[in-house]
Amino acid sequence: MSLSFIPLGVGDAFSALHYSSCLAVEAEDQVLLIDCPHPIRKMMREASESSGVPLDVERVSAVALTHLHADHASGLESLAYFSFFVLQRKMELLAHPSITRRLWEGHLAAGMECLIEEHGAGPSDKHFEDYFTHTPLHLERAVRHGPFEIECRFTYHHVPTTAFRIRAGGRCLGYSADTAFDEGLIAWLSEADLVIHETNYGVHTPYEKLAALPEATRAKMRLIHYPDLFDASGSVIEPLAQGRRYTV
């Protein structure tokens, strides 16, 4: 068994070149999405064509959500509707309670709380539990989902956000999520075999800070969430390529 992933998107919220950052992580023929931006099915289809790995909603066993900014969560409505209507099953959501606390009322309810289920009938009330099952993630211990064990840690960001360590097949993948530069977080992530770290402007992580890390840390680090003007060819840390398959 191996642990692999495909970046469905590598860009930031303002990118005109790339989809928003999102990963499809695979182990034992199960796919775990890390975040879910719109248009998630188109992102999966294009990644399937470029990587040769079949990806669509029926292969997604769960979504692990880092935070509620739209460039990370805007595809949840369409993903849940597709699962509800086409697959006739609920989508499993893995997230810390501080993130799911406002997910329904503050994000999804406006477009999902009323549903006409038969032609000619009036809309019926729907709730989070009609579309999703929620498995809470914990700061104190790992949570298992299928072949994956997921640990989380808060990052420094505008809204509650968690980084992940994901274990499967004897390997570990670290994912920073959105964060300012944080030496403690990097130390936590560095226990993984491969670390995916964001870089961007503002309250994000400056590339220069990551480039100054020890060579051993940089060697197992890959970049994501980078801006369109980022000099990928000049980076001393490899930027992830959208739609390419990587093995941890």
- Specify whether the CB–CB gap between 189 and 183 falls below 8 A: no
Tell me the one-letter amino acid at 41.
R
Q: Indicate the number of domains in the chain.
A: 1
In degrees, rounded to 5, the angle at the alpha carbon of residue 94 between the alpha carbons of residues 91 and 99 is: 115
Flag residues of the chain having pLDDT under 70.
1
Q: Where are the alpha helices (DSSP H) in the chain?
A: 40-51, 70-73, 76-82, 97-100, 103, 109-112, 128-131, 183-189, 207-211, 215-219
- Specify whether the CB–CB gap between 248 and 193 falls below 8 A: yes
Which CATH number belongs to the domain containing residue 86 in this structure?
A: 3.60.15.10
CA distances from 203 to 96, 183, 211, 245 (A): 21, 15, 17, 29
The pLDDT score that the predictor gives to residue 118 is 86
DSSP reduced 3-state for 108: helix
Cis omega before residue 39 (within 30°)? yes
DSSP reduced 3-state for 149: strand
Q: Which residues contact 65 (CB under 8 A, 6 or more apart)?
A: 35, 36, 72, 73, 76, 93, 94, 95, 99, 100, 103
- Specify whether the CB–CB gap between 94 and 150 falls below 8 A: yes
Mean pLDDT (the chain) is 97
Give residue 178's domain range: 4-247
Of 122, 71, 116, 67, the C-alpha closest to 93 is 67
Return the number of other C-beta atoms located less than 10 Å from residue 200's C-beta. 21
**Distance in Å from the first CA to the final CA of the chain:** 11
What's the distance, CA 171 to chain centroid? Answer: 18
pLDDT in tens, 93-144: 999 999 999 999 999 999 999 999 889 999 999 999 999 999 999 999 999 9
pLDDT in tens, 164-180: 999 999 999 999 999 99
